[in-house]
Amino acid sequence: MAHRKVLLCLCCVPAFLSAQNNLKTVVTQRYFNGVRRNLEAAADAMPADKYGFKLTPGQMSFAEWLNHSTERNYTDCAALKGEAAPEASKKVAGLKDKAEVSQALKDSFAYCAAAIESIDDQKVLASPQLTYSLLHTVVHNNEIYGNIAGYLRSSGIVPPSTAGRGAQKK
């Protein structure tokens, strides 16, 4: 539902966008870079022995949430690049330990950063699939971060976004 609202709002925006790639700039600076920092920092902050932790038995583990982000990053950003998802994406589902999961997440964000850097607003806005992929990269990762914040708090760890605000106030 949230994806549709964002997409609907975005459909009203093209008339206000100039040829200066404002969409790409806003997405990158305001949303993508922030959620990338938060998810990568969360991956680093969670102890290795908690990567299999689940808040409840029916939920994904902390590692599974990060793997889900990694898989979607590769899928969405491959669409933005106009190519098949890289080979690395095929190995993500089997990753379980902190070093592998964390590195795969960081690699997927680097792949997305390159994809977003190469896009053009008009091309993205002319294609519903590209628009969806761009928005999904930030919206979905923020949803994932919202979920794993509870995993961090339950483990006695202040989520990076909250910890960052505290550091800014000092």
Tens digit of pLDDT for each residue in 110-139? 999 999 999 999 999 999 999 999 999 999
Give the pLDDT band of residue 20 (cuts 50, 70, 90): low
The greatest distance separating any two alpha carbons of the chain, rounded to the nearest whole angstrom, comes to 50
Q: Report the pLDDT value the prediction gives residue 7, as an integer from 0 to 100.
A: 47
Supply the pLDDT for residue 1.
55
- Residue 26 to residue 22: CA distance in whole angstroms: 6
- When pLDDT is cut at 50, 70 and 90, the band that residue 24 belongs to is confident
Say what the pLDDT of residue 100 is: 98
* Torsion on CA atoms 36, 37, 43, 45, rounded to nearest 10: -170
pTM for this predicted structure: 0.84
Give residue limits of the domains in the chain. Answer: 21-48+59-159
Chain segment 25-42, per-residue pLDDT in tens: 888 888 999 999 999 999
What does the pLDDT read at residue 163?
A: 82
Q: What are the percentages of helix, strand and coil residues in the chain, rounded to 5?
A: 75, 0, 25
pLDDT at 22: 87
